[in-house]
Amino acid sequence: MVKATTEELSISIGIGEMCVSKDKSMVFVAHGLGSCVGICMCDEIIGIGGMAHIMLPNDNGVETSVPVKFADTGIPKLMNELIEEGAKKNRMKVKIAGGANMLNLPGSSGQFDIGSRNVEMTKKILKDLGLNIASSDVGGNCGRTVYFYPSTGRVLVRTIGQQLGEI
């Protein structure tokens, strides 16, 4: 896990990383999400949030030192970290972005569409955990950069070739 300090205003969240913060001046950034999904969770009442950058739907039962790399292990880890820091599950607001089909190959029948598999698994895991998605910007075939303000839950998304937008 990336550690946040008050001296930093922006933390880059790379593949398989997550970060949690209460710092009002903090912004987490997941650059160039293609098929990866950025999961942003926030308890606005106490002003804490976290972001995870997942790359694949599941770990296929293989033990890993990077559980946040996978939706099935990373999402529960992010939620539990927020709860350990005082967040309440019933107040968590969740927003997701990413999951593009970056290998849109003719005749591939979706077998290479990791993005939609990531989104599908993300939605399943969140549902299984009893968390609802407040908003999302997923799919398509263009990469995105996500900006998450953990103390407020604000999420901005810049999709390649489009204006910055809020979800």
Which residues have a catalytic role annotated?
36
User: Which residue type occupies 70?
Assistant: F
Candidates 58, 56, 61; CA nearest to 114 is 56
Which residue spans within the chain are E strands per DSSP? 10-12, 18-21, 27-33, 37-43, 48-54, 93-98, 133-138, 144-149, 154-159, 164-166
